[in-house]
A = this chain, B = another copy of it.
């Protein structure tokens, strides 16, 4: 098992460093990067919804979205359904040479994935899926602990 955890540790470190490098490349701090990730993943969201997800107050979201908008990564649009709300959407065309990076990443991943047979891919998929589940479980436990300490 030492092998598995060691690999996991290395992979985990690499992924965190990769995220940091991407954020630097985009000129974003942690909060802005996280916000952009949430918007890309979840689609357009009202500004207020970001506050709890980022763990900051509503007024701080204005500044974060300001900077993302000024950099061209997102756009603000009034929600036609409820014109009090401001929907923040990703402006994917403005992401700089990131396409190049993800293309290279995808290409290199593809290069070694191609040699696996169908069964081997199934194993890998099972492994990754289970790892995601296990990690998410631990996150949930940690967050639950925080919540308990926060409001006991």
Contacts and interface: CB of A to CB of B under 8 A. Distances in A.
B4 A109 contact: yes
Contact of A24 (B106, B124, B130, B146): B146
A37 B12 CA distance: 12
A112 B124 CA distance: 12
A104 interface: yes
Looking at chain A, what size class is its interface with the partner chain? 35 or more
A24 B45 CA distance: 26
Contacts of A145: 25
Oligomer copy total? 2
Interface in A19-50: 19, 21-22, 24-25, 30, 37, 41
Question: Which of A1, A14, A19 has the largest number of chain B CB atoms within 10 A?
Answer: A14
A79 interface: no
A142 B106 contact: no
B7 A142 contact: no
Contact of A125 (B3, B12, B104, B112): B3
A113 B12 contact: no
Name which of A15, A17, A22 has the most chain B CB atoms within 10 A of its CB: A15
Given A18-B138, A106-B1, A106-B5, A112 B128 contact: no
21 contacts: A1-B110, A1-B113, A5-B109, A7-B125, A8-B109, A10-B132, A11-B132, A12-B15, A12-B18, A12-B19, A13-B37, A15-B16, A16-B16, A16-B19, A21-B139, A21-B146, A25-B145, A25-B146, A105-B134, A112-B126, A127-B127
